[in-house]
């Protein structure tokens, strides 16, 4: 397996066949990740092709997920892009259309934001009846520090016109959709942001993840990062930004990654956007055996897109009574907060049902039941964890 070669010799091998196009005497660009294997041993494989890999949430430790443990969600074959010939174009309703090289992008700024990415399908395996899509447990969520250029700076250079209402982001990955309804031919992954969201200071075109050039699986050379929104908005392998004058209705925000919203007595199909308030128990895991009479530290994380987490409660009696947990770190929108609770396990053997429930500063409380208008997405209801005391 290629991953077994030491990294250095692997890069040399990869570089040997490359024409030294503006790369100096080295013959390859050390930032080139086009040959990097995208798979990661620390992750749980949910699907091989396209690559869908789950983070081991029970290994939660600290609020940053190491790159090797960060979940991977892809819809099509993972592109192999290299920094030497990658371009980002900015077009549509702009005064100055742009074609940016990788070096242009790096030269436009360096801004770091911490953000939790959660796939809107995270926790899907717990739905009854079963719902279509990748059967994620609790690990389609991870947190990193992202470094890149504020999107607003790129849009400013391009000179957005006043009639622009949304920005559409296109990835270099493409393929055919199998489940109907679907278009007649292959399409690229794409998603849009309303202008107001796109101009927020923490929305980035990121080129680094936890201080490393963006790994291939996470969108190398550059991706969008939209803190506080379901990660489907954070388009990887970014190649084109289009300023449009009417709302975009692409596949990944209408047929897929959308839900039914009730408004004015109507039911409307709308793209899913903000992360819904949610907490998860990392430890204990399902059916873990716990010594009777011991003190067990229940540990987990909680997040919300709209505002910071203000409270997480734990129940050890199946939801009858709730106890406040100890919250670590800061209360910030779009970034998870670790928490723990010392549970005095009963002295007599038997089953116990643990639950956690988060509240954010806007007063949103994690629900106990499933909202059917969300179908197979936005799964934030309280999940019971049954353990065995013995
Ligand atoms: N170009 C592109 N961008 C994409 C996707 C994709 O398949 N192609 N998947 C989206 C979804 S649904 C998620 S959850 C996140 C996953 O980001 P990660 O793989 O870095 O964790 O990327 C988003 N951006
Ligand atoms: Mo996702």
Q: What confidence tens digit (pLDDT) does each residue in 138-171 have? A: 999 999 999 999 999 999 999 999 999 999 999 9
Based on the fold, state whether residues 330 and 383 are members of the same structural domain: yes
In the chain, the number of structural domains is 2
Q: Looking at the predicted structure, is the pLDDT value of residue 245 above 50?
A: yes
Q: Are residues 151 and 242 in the same domain?
A: yes
Is 56 domain-assigned? no
- What's the 71 CA to ligand 2 centre distance in angstroms? 10
Domain boundary among 206, 238, 271: 271
User: Which of residues 229, 245, 271 is at a domain's end?
Assistant: 271
At residue 302, the pLDDT reads 98
- The residue to which tokens 């717990």 are assigned: 126
pLDDT tens figures, 223-244: 999 999 999 999 999 999 999 9
User: CB of 189 closer than 6 A to ligand 1?
Assistant: yes
Return the pLDDT at 7: 36
Final residue of a domain: which of 271, 291, 312? 271
Do 265 and 279 share a domain, yes or no? no
**Mean pLDDT of all residues in 357-377:** 97
Beta strands at 212-213 and 204-209: parallel, antiparallel or unpaired? antiparallel
Quick check: 246 pLDDT over 80? Answer: yes
Residue 220 maps to a domain: yes
pLDDT of residue 38: 61
pLDDT digits (tens, 9 = 90+) for 260-289: 999 999 999 999 999 999 999 999 999 999
Claim to verify: residue 176 and residue 322 sit in the same structural domain: no
120/152 same-domain check: yes
Say if residue 48's pLDDT is above 60.
Answer: yes
Residues 80 and 22 in one domain: no
Q: Does the pLDDT of residue 256 top 60, yes or no?
A: yes
Atom of ligand 1 nearest to the CA of 188: 1
Q: Judge if 242 and 286 occupy the same domain.
A: no
Range of the domain at 291: 16-33+275-389
pTM of the model: 0.91
- Residue 267 shares a structural domain with residue 281: no
300 and 256 in a common domain: no
| CATH number (domain holding residue 27) | 2.60.40.650
Distance 235 CA to ligand 2 centre (A): 10
Residue with the nearest Cα to atom 19 of ligand 1? 72
pLDDT exceeds cutoff 90 at 255: yes
Residues 355 and 309 in one domain: yes
What average pLDDT does the chain have? 92
């Amino acid at each position: 397996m290629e991953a077994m070669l030491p990294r250095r010799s692997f890069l040399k091998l990869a570089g040997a066949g490359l024409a030294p196009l503006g790369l100096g005497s080295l013959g390859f660009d050390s930032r080139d990740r086009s040959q990097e294997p995208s798979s990661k041993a620390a992750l749980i494989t949910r699907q091989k092709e396209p690559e869908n890999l789950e983070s081991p949430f029970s290994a939660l430790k600290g609020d940053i997920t190491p790159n090797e443990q960060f979940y991977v969600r892809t819809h099509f074959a993972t592109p192999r892009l290299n920094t030497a010939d990658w371009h980002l174009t900015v077009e549509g309703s702009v005064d100055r259309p742009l074609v940016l090289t990788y070096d242009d992008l790096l030269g436009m700024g360096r801004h770091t934001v911490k953000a939790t990415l959660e796939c809107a399908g995270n926790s899907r395996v717990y739905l009854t009846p079963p719902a279509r899509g990748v059967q994620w447990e609790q690990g389609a969520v991870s947190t990193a520090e992202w470094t890149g250029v504020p999107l607003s700076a790129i849009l400013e250079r391009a000179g957005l016109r006043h009639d622009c209402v949304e920005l559409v982001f296109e990835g270099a990955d493409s393929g055919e959709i199998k489940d109907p309804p679907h278009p007649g031919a292959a399409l690229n992954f794409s998603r849009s942001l309303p202008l107001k969201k796109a101009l927020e200071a923490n929305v980035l075109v990121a080129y680094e993840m936890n201080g490393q050039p963006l790994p291939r699986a996470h969108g190398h050379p550059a991706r969008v990062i939209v803190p506080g929104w379901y990660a489907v908005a954070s388009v990887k392998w970014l190649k084109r930004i289009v300023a449009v004058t009417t709302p975009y209705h692409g596949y990944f925000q209408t047929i897929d990654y959308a839900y039914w919203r009730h408004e004015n007595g109507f039911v409307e199909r709308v793209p899913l956007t903000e992360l819904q308030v949610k907490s998860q128990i990392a430890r204990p895991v399902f059916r873990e055996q716990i010594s009777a009479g011991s003190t067990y530290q229940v540990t987990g994380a909680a997040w919300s897109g709209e505002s910071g987490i203000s409270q997480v409660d734990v129940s050890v009696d199946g939801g009858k009574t709730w106890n406040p947990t100890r919250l670590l770190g800061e209360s910030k929108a779009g970034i998870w907060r670790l928490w723990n609770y010392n549970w005095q396990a009963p002295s007599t053997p038997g089953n116990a049902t643990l639950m956690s429930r988060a509240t954010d500063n806007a007063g949103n409380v994690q629900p106990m039941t499933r909202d059917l208008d969300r179908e197979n997405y936005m799964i934030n209801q309280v999940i019971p964890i049954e353990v065995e005391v013995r």
